[in-house]
């Protein structure tokens, strides 16, 4: 008896048998993009199939990521004191030695900049909204506005990576990949994790595929990028000379020949291959049906705004997100670029708000009218906030703001969150006064809403158990209804 | 007092055992049932106990450490008169009481750890282990390998070389028989794929098929090992480990020129540079006496990490992060250990302290590089320190650096501050929590990981050259094992140690420890000769088995731990591309040079870019450049090539030791709709239609070219029937045939051909390209 081999074989056999007993049920619970039974490489796959840990409040997520970091001070976190002290120096007692980015570290002065926009209160909780967000303001009673989220990074790349993967560096799985791995897709013809990209006219910071990467999880959990061009998913479209019936015939030929070699060789991987070709055929029908924006009723176009018919816009992506989500896609991740307002903020932010205000509000409204808002968690926010002092030249109507990690605002709706306003920042909008929410806490809370205990949902990779919340994070019960 | 003495005696004995026995192998067919620390106990301790009672000095609870016997056997600090482990006496060992208990106040692991309670079997193992004296063993991988005596086996005729002895021993123990030798066609396809990553041409296939020399196989291996494509094939895995890419990787993601290093790697494999030299050059080529530019170029290995060009970053934060990356890459790629945990705290599982980490990090911290040299608008193709390569050098001693460019090429390489420089060598302090802005006042000196092998700085010196010498010292227990395991992984799809990037305490145990050690020692005895190693493995009967899977194998050993069959592995992403291009005749076999931009779906770069920099939009190349091998496809880190990613290529963000191998619908879509594959089918269809042979013969020849065997009767008839039907359709609808033949930029044959037949063959070939077997190792 060789001990090491025995160990390997036993593990191997045990895994195989329990997979067999889980059978197709197990498969259906896990990702349906998963090839299945025979080639899953990690015992944790089994464990993942027992998720959720408890009854979830949210079944699906739509994450509207505002890439570049929107200014909380010009949108949600109203600070009249800054308007009063416009141009005066940020008191050292408030800054408390917070580190600065290389962009303002050499500034001789840090003059406070009050927002140029008018604010008013909305909804039963009296939440503040800037005049740039008239549509969202009307949805105030559906929104859980978190004013006290904070992060550790002060530059875009690490901050974005942190929000999406729970780690500033490293090749860790994205939130969507974790969810895909743990909960799979509800639709067997669509991937569990879809990514939609759009750009505003404001100063942009790029996105990168690492943000929707599977990390050490199998690559089936990678976000599938839906693009705005003629081909929504890469390689989805058959060449023109291959018609649909023709394609069917080609697939049948391939399947018959593969089946024959399976008989000869006996490798179950060949059967999986046949199934994957079938699935690709079904995807070719399912995806265009969903991504087509042609047949939307007028009421929908009116709700999301006319831009929703222009592929690749944020509005069109919001509409598409609703359709994907409605069809069982577990995690739809949007990115909208253009929020990096180091200078010329008032003009740029107006443009950005124009892009997102109506369609974000429409998404909430649309989900609600379909009875889906309760089970769909919508998240809106950037990777950090912006400073209360001005970057570059300050005038009465113009200013810029640098990166600020110590407090900023995100909002969520649906999916079991409690509407209202959470947390308070100080009157300078620089530090948190009450109820802070760290990025890890945010992740823990989202996992909780999905019925997942974030501390137990781990994946062992190279000798260490990893999880989205790294070694920290607590569920913020105040945010849950 | 009596007890004290007894304990002392046990300590001494255990100390001896610990030091001397270390890692012993069982001789044939012993039925000893003694509990082994390495096999049975340590994995459980590591998984369930070490996070609080292991090597991390700052996290040790109640002063108890279970990873070293002296501490595990000592009187408990918090509970005088009690002992966690009393060797020989499980009933007196608190450890047993704790793991058996269900009382939240005393049970272990603690409920809040979220670690599950030990199973009954595990508890029984602990009792038995303590009963038998609680013998500790040093971690197997940290003890230098020795060649074990070859095991005796029953089926001696099957043995071709030593590898087979080890493999067969286990197979016989498990009651498995080896598969028959694979058919000759399969062996040809397999050896070509493994050595050069390309299929044999139709002519080469027939040449080897019809070779009557009884040593044909060995001759084929020798010929393949001499082909320049060998270096390209070997480079793929090394580029993953070295996280090679063509861009800087942060948001604006501008172009960089590290490709001359990639060509150095290919050239080194082709020259059969031995592994000790290969790795010495990459670790410290710049510090070798009379270093040439070739030596210096090799050190670009350490500079392949991402480099920020985001305005407003804090320089030191990034400079530190680059060094962390270098330390990680060295650890994982060269030593097969994950050391990054020790960046913030003592490693929880492996004997690497926080101090050990920064001592290793210190080797890289003396580099002259900066954390930031300007934003994307001031981007340069390399970052200091740089190596400049002139046209003259490229046409003489650096002639493997292949470009039509006539200017100077720059590459980011290593270069240390030296005494006499205006700036002084940079001291290294331990960083609190790994944070760049929290250096402690603890100064460390460059030293390699001493728990693996002592580092004598008087002998080695205190720079990277010393690290290289330590690494390639034949007494180093890891270097050879790790590399041999990578080669095994590349050939069999899984290393003998499955976690090829982690030989540490949390890594998996080797499935065939004696074989791994034998190969490692043999490799060093042959002076780290890589071609020798590859040929050795490919010559074994283990390698030459057929890949048929029996019901018994599938049920009892689905993952093929016994190696009683040859594994069926889908080709790596790059090889899938190479295979299709090569069989179609489109492959451009040029070696090296700047990376190229073949067909790519629209919008991949454009949709994610900030709009800044020269890589904001994808400008596809044309002509022969778009038919280069997969490893030359341009890798923009923030938007890597989709056809590669879909087939599980590494995203090159960090050092990666393994790739997954998935089977997904996106792969089906790619194989059917990627213009690269459609064009290959078209070109092969056109060229096949030119031949004077009958349609049946044409189809057969295409099949043999692509699948590398003769079709069965079923396959033959099915494909012929399909193709004939298509010919008839295209004859009645020539416009569709012409539309089909428009795919791709490659020009049509000059000779006149029948377009209905060419288009019909194209579709038939597309089917052949989509057979599971085509892109699977035979």
Both tokens of residue B282?
């990459």
Give percent of chain B above pLDDT 90. Answer: 78
Say whether A4 and B511 touch across the interface (CB within 8 A).
yes
Say whether A250 and B311 touch across the interface (CB within 8 A).
no
Sign of CA dihedral B460, B461, B466, B467: positive
- Nearest chain A Cα to B568, which residue? A267
Mutate to test the interface with A, among B608, B682, B756 (most CBs of A within 10 A): B608
Q: Rounded to the nearest 5 degrees, what angle is found at the Cα of B66, between the Cα atoms of B65 and B70?
A: 75
Cβ pairs A/B, distance under 8 A: 272
Contacts of A341 in chain B (CB under 8 A): none
Say whether B664 and A239 touch across the interface (CB within 8 A).
no
Is B5's pLDDT higher than 60? no
Contacts of B607 in chain A (CB under 8 A): 197, 225, 227-228, 312
Residue A209's pLDDT is: 82
CA B255, CA B6: separation in Å to the nearest integer? 68
Q: For B263-311, write each residue's pLDDT tens digit.
A: 999 999 999 999 999 999 999 999 999 999 999 999 999 999 999 998 8
Residue A101 near residue A402 (C-beta atoms within 8 A): yes
- Picking from B39, B507, B646, the nearest residue to A463 by CB comes out as B507
Question: Does an H or E element contain B412, and which?
Answer: strand B409-412
For residue A192, give Cα distances in angstroms to A324, A328, A366, A473, B711: 10, 8, 21, 25, 39
Q: For B100-122, write each residue's pLDDT tens digit.
A: 999 988 899 988 888 888 999 99
Complex prediction ipTM: 0.90
- Picking from A103, A253, A312, the nearest residue to B722 by CB comes out as A253
Residue A228's pLDDT is: 67
d(CA B41, nearest CA chain A) in Å: 13
Residue A106's pLDDT is: 82
Band of pLDDT at residue B33, cut at 50, 70 and 90: low
Q: Does B500 touch chain A (CB under 8 A)?
A: no
- Picking from A103, A104, A208, the nearest residue to B608 by CB comes out as A208
Q: Does B438 touch chain A (CB under 8 A)?
A: no
- Picking from B313, B508, B740, the nearest residue to A241 by CB comes out as B740
Residue A36's pLDDT is: 30
State CA A76 to chain mean position distance: 21
Chain A, window 358-397: residues with a beta carbon less than 8 angstroms from a chain B beta carbon: none
Q: Rounded to the nearest 5 degrees, what angle is found at the Cα of A222, between the Cα atoms of A220 and A225?
A: 115
d(CA A480, nearest CA chain B) in Å: 23
Question: Does an H or E element contain B161, and which?
Answer: none
Higher pLDDT, B726 or A272: B726
CA A190, CA A184: separation in Å to the nearest integer? 10
Contacts of A13 in chain B (CB under 8 A): 556-557
Start-end of H helices in B49-199:
50-53, 69-72, 94-100, 120-131, 162-173, 184-195
- Nearest chain A Cα to B766, which residue? A250
Residues B315-341 have a mean pLDDT of: 94
Chain A, window 208-267: residues with a beta carbon less than 8 angstroms from a chain B beta carbon: 208-210, 213, 218-220, 222, 224-225, 227-231, 233-242, 247, 249-250, 253-254, 256-258, 260-261, 264-267
The candidate with the shortest Cα–Cα distance to A255, out of A239, A240, A234, A276, is: A276
Residue A130 near residue A116 (C-beta atoms within 8 A): no
Chain A, window 414-433: residues with a beta carbon less than 8 angstroms from a chain B beta carbon: none
Contacts of B609 in chain A (CB under 8 A): 206
Chain B, window 620-639: residues with a beta carbon less than 8 angstroms from a chain A beta carbon: 637-639
Q: Does A108 touch chain B (CB under 8 A)?
A: no
Contacts of A169 in chain B (CB under 8 A): 321
Residue A123's pLDDT is: 96
Is B10's pLDDT higher than 60? no
Q: Does B568 touch chain A (CB under 8 A)?
A: yes
Band of pLDDT at residue B7, cut at 50, 70 and 90: very low
Residue B676's pLDDT is: 98
What is the SS3 assignment for chain A? CCHHHHHHHHHHHHHHHHHHHHHHHHHHHCCCCCCCCCCCCCCHHHHHCCCCCCCCCCCEEEEEEEECCCCHHHCCCCCHHHHHCCCCECCHHHHCCCCCCCCCCCCCCCEECCCCCCEEEECCCCEEEECCCHHHHHCHHHEEEEEEEECCCCCHHHHHHHHHHCCCCCCCCCHHHHHHHHHCCCCCCCCCEEEEEEECCCCCCCCCHHHHCCCCCCHHHCCEEECCCCCCCCCCCCCCCCCHHHHHHHHHHHHHHHHHHHHHHCCHHHHHHHHHHHHHHHHHHHHHHHHCCCCCCHHHHHHHCHHHHCCCCHHHHHHHHHHHHHCCCCEEEEEEECCCCCCCHHHHHHHHHHHHHHHHHHHHHHHHHCCCHHHEEEEEECCCEEEEEECCCCCCCCCCEEEECCCEEEEEECCCECCEEECEECCCCCCEEECCEEHHHHHHHHHHHCCCCCCCCCEEECCEEECCCCCCCCCCHHHEC
Place of tokens 């030249």: A393
Residue B533 near residue B513 (C-beta atoms within 8 A): no
Mutate to test the interface with B, among A12, A200, A241 (most CBs of B within 10 A): A241
Residue B105's pLDDT is: 87
Say whether B715 and A240 touch across the interface (CB within 8 A).
no
Q: Does B562 touch chain A (CB under 8 A)?
A: yes
CA A431, CA B304: separation in Å to the nearest integer? 39
Residues B714-729 have a mean pLDDT of: 98
Chain A, window 20-79: residues with a beta carbon less than 8 angstroms from a chain B beta carbon: 33, 35, 38-39, 41
Q: Does B767 touch chain A (CB under 8 A)?
A: yes
Residue A465's pLDDT is: 85
Q: Does B678 touch chain A (CB under 8 A)?
A: yes
Say whether B548 and A264 touch across the interface (CB within 8 A).
yes
Contacts of A264 in chain B (CB under 8 A): 548, 712
Contacts of B653 in chain A (CB under 8 A): 171, 210, 213
- Nearest chain A Cα to B664, which residue? A276
Q: Average pLDDT of chain B?
A: 92
Place of tokens 């089917």: B767
Give percent of chain B above pLDDT 70. Answer: 96
Q: Other C-beta atoms within 10 Å of A263: how many? A: 10
Band of pLDDT at residue B73, cut at 50, 70 and 90: very high
The candidate with the shortest Cα–Cα distance to A439, out of A476, A402, A464, A403, is: A476
Chain B, window 142-181: residues with a beta carbon less than 8 angstroms from a chain A beta carbon: 169-170, 173-174
Chain B, window 649-668: residues with a beta carbon less than 8 angstroms from a chain A beta carbon: 651, 653-654, 656, 660-668
- Picking from A7, A12, A230, the nearest residue to B509 by CB comes out as A7
Band of pLDDT at residue B349, cut at 50, 70 and 90: confident
Q: Which residues pair with A417 in a beta bridge?
A: A480
Return the minimum-mean-pLDDT range out of A64-78, B245-259, B344-358, B431-445: B344-358
Residues B126-154 have a mean pLDDT of: 92
Q: For B635-691, write each residue's pLDDT tens digit.
A: 999 999 999 999 999 999 999 999 988 888 999 999 999 999 999 999 999 999 999
- Picking from B40, B253, B507, the nearest residue to A206 by CB comes out as B253
Q: Which residues pair with A62 in a beta bridge?
A: A332, A378
d(CA B667, nearest CA chain A) in Å: 8
Contacts of B551 in chain A (CB under 8 A): 266
Task: Please state the pTM of the whole predicted model.
Answer: 0.86
Higher pLDDT, B23 or B48: B48
Say whether A12 and B513 touch across the interface (CB within 8 A).
no
Residue B424's pLDDT is: 73
- Picking from A222, A276, A462, the nearest residue to B499 by CB comes out as A462
Both tokens of residue B726?
């298509």
Say whether B766 and A250 touch across the interface (CB within 8 A).
yes
Residues in chain A where the model's pLDDT stays below 70: 1-50, 228-230
Mutate to test the interface with B, among A6, A7, A8 (most CBs of B within 10 A): A8
Q: Does A351 touch chain B (CB under 8 A)?
A: no
Contacts of A162 in chain B (CB under 8 A): none
Is B28's pLDDT higher than 50? no
């Amino acid at each position: 008896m060789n001990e090491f081999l025995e160990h390997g074989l036993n593990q191997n056999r045990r895994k195989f048998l329990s997979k067999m007993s889980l059978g197709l049920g197990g498969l259906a619970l896990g990702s349906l993009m998963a090839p299945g039974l025979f080639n899953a490489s990690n015992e944790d796959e089994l464990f993942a199939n027992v998720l959720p840990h408890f009854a979830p409040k949210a079944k699906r997520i739509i994450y509207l990521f505002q890439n570049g970091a929107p200014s909380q001070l010009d949108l949600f976190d109203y600070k009249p004191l800054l308007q009063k002290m416009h141009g005066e120096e940020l008191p050292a007692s408030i800054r408390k030695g917070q580190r600065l980015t290389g962009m303002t570290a050499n500034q001789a002065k840090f003059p406070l900049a009050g927002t140029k926009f008018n604010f008013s209160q909305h909804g039963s909780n009296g939440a503040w909204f800037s005049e740039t967000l008239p549509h969202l303001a009307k949805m105030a009673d559906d929104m859980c506005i978190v004013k006290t989220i904070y992060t550790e990074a002060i530059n875009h790349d690490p901050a974005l990576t942190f929000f999406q993967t729970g780690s500033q560096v490293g090749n860790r799985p994205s939130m969507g990949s974790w969810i895909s791995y743990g909960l799979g897709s509800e639709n067997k013809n669509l991937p569990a994790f879809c990514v939609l990209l759009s750009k505003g006219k404001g100063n942009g910071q790029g996105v990168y595929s690492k943000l929707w990467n599977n990390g050490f999880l199998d690559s089936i959990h990678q976000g599938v990028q839906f693009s705005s061009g003629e081909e929504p998913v890469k390689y989805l479209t058959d060449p023109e000379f291959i018609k649909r019936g023709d394609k069917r015939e080609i697939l049948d030929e391939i399947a018959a020949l593969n089946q024959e070699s399976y008989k000869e060789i006996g490798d179950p991987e060949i059967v999986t291959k046949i199934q994957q070709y079938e699935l690709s055929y079904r995807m070719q029908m399912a995806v265009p049906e969903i991504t087509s924006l042609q047949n939307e009723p007028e009421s929908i176009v009116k709700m999301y705004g006319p831009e929703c018919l222009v592929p690749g816009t944020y509005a069109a992506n919001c509409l598409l997100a609703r359709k994907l989500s409605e069809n069982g896609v577990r995690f739809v991740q949007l990115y909208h670029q253009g929020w990096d307002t180091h200078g010329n903020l008032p003009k740029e932010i107006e443009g950005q708000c124009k892009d997102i205000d109506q369609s974000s509000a429409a998404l909430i409204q649309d989900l609600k009218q379909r009875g889906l808002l309760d089970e769909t968690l919508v998240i809106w926010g950037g990777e950090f906030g912006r400073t209360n002092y001005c970057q570059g030249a300050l005038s009465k109507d113009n200013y810029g703001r640098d990166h600020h990690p110590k407090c900023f605002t995100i909002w969520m709706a649906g999916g079991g969150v409690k509407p209202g306003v959470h947390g308070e920042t100080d009157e300078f909008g620089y530090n948190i006064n009450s109820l802070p929410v760290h990025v890890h806490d945010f992740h823990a809370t989202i996992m909780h809403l999905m019925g997942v205990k974030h501390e137990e949902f781990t994946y062992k990779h190279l000798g260490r158990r990893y999880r989205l919340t790294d070694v920290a994070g607590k569920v913020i019960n105040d945010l849950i209804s | 007092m009596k007890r004290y003495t007894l304990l002392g005696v046990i300590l001494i004995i255990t100390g001896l055992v610990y030091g001397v026995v270390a890692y012993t192998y069982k001789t044939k067919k012993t039925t000893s049932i003694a509990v082994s620390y390495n096999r049975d106990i340590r994995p459980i301790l590591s998984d369930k106990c070490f996070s609080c009672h292991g090597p991390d000095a700052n996290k040790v609870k109640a002063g108890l450490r279970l990873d070293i016997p002296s501490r595990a056997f000592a009187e408990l600090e918090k509970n005088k008169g009690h002992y966690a482990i009393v060797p020989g006496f499980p009933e007196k060992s608190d450890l047993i009481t704790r793991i058996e208990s269900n009382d939240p106040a005393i049970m272990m692991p603690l409920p809040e750890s979220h670690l599950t309670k030990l199973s009954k079997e595990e508890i029984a193992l602990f009792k038995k282990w303590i009963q038998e004296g609680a013998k500790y063993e040093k971690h197997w991988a940290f003890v230098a390998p020795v060649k074990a005596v070859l095991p005796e086996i029953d089926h001696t005729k099957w043995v071709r070389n030593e590898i087979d002895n080890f493999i067969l021993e286990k197979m016989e123990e498990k009651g498995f028989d080896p598969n028959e030798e694979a058919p000759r066609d399969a062996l040809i396809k397999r050896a070509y794929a493994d050595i050069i990553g390309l299929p044999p041409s139709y002519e080469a296939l027939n040449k080897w098929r019809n070779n009557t020399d009884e040593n044909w196989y060995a001759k084929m291996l020798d010929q393949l090992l001499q082909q320049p494509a060998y270096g390209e094939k070997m480079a793929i895995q090394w580029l993953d480990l070295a996280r090679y890419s063509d861009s800087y990787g942060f948001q604006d993601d501008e172009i960089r020129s590290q490709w001359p290093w990639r060509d150095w790697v290919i050239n080194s494999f082709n020259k059969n540079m031995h592994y000790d030299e290969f790795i010495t050059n990459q670790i410290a080529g710049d510090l070798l006496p009379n270093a040439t530019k070739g030596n210096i170029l090799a050190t670009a290995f350490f500079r392949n990490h991402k480099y920020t060009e985001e305005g407003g970053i804090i320089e030191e934060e990034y400079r530190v992060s680059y060094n962390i990356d270098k330390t990680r890459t060295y650890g994982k790629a060269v030593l097969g250990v994950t050391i990054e945990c020790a960046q913030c705290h003592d490693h929880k599982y492996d004997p690497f302290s926080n101090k050990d980490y920064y001592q290793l990090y210190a080797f890289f911290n003396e580099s002259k590089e900066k954390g930031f040299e300007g934003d994307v608008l001031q981007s340069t193709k390399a970052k200091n320190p740089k190596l400049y390569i002139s046209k003259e050098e490229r046409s003489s001693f650096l002639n493997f650096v292949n470009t039509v460019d006539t200017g100077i090429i720059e590459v980011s390489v290593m270069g240390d501050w030296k005494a006499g420089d205006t700036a002084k060598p940079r001291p290294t302090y331990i960083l609190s929590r790994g944070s760049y802005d929290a250096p402690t006042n603890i100064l460390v000196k460059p030293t390699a990981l001493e728990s693996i092998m002592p580092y004598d700085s008087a002998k080695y010196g205190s720079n990277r050259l010393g690290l290289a010498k330590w690494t390639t010292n034949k007494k180093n227990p890891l270097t050879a094992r790790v590399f041999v395991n990578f080669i095994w992984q590349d050939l069999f799809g899984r290393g003998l140690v499955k976690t090829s990037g982690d030989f540490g305490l949390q890594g998996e145990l080797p499935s065939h420890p004696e074989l791994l050690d034998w190969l490692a020692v043999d490799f060093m005895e042959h002076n780290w000769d890589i071609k020798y190693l590859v040929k050795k493995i490919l010559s074994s009967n283990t390698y030459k088995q057929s890949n048929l899977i029996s019901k018994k194998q599938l049920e009892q050993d689905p993952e093929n731990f016994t190696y009683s069959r040859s594994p069926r592995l889908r080709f790596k992403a790059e090889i899938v591309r190479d295979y299709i291009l090569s069989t179609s005749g489109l492959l451009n076999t040029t070696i090296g040079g700047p990376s190229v931009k073949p067909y790519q779906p629209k919008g991949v770069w454009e949709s994610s870019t900030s709009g800044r920099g020269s890589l904001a939009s994808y400008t596809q190349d044309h002509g022969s450049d778009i038919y280069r091998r997969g490893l030359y496809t341009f890798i923009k880190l923030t938007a890597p090539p989709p056809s590669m990613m879909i087939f599980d290529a590494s995203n090159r963000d960090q050092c990666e030791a393994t790739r997954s191998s998935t089977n997904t619908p996106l792969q089906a879509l790619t194989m059917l709709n990627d213009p690269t594959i459609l064009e290959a089918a078209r070109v092969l269809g056109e060229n096949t239609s030119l031949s004077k042979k009958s349609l049946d013969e044409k189809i057969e020849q295409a099949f043999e070219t692509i699948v590398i065997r003769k079709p069965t009767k079923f396959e033959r008839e099915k494909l012929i029937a399909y193709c004939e039907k298509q010919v008839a359709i295209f004859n009645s609808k020539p416009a569709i045939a012409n539309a089909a033949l428009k795919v791709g930029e490659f020009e049509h044959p000059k000779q006149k051909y029948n377009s209905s037949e060419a288009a019909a063959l194209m579709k038939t070939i597309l089917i052949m390209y989509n057979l599971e077997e085509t892109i699977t190792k035979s």
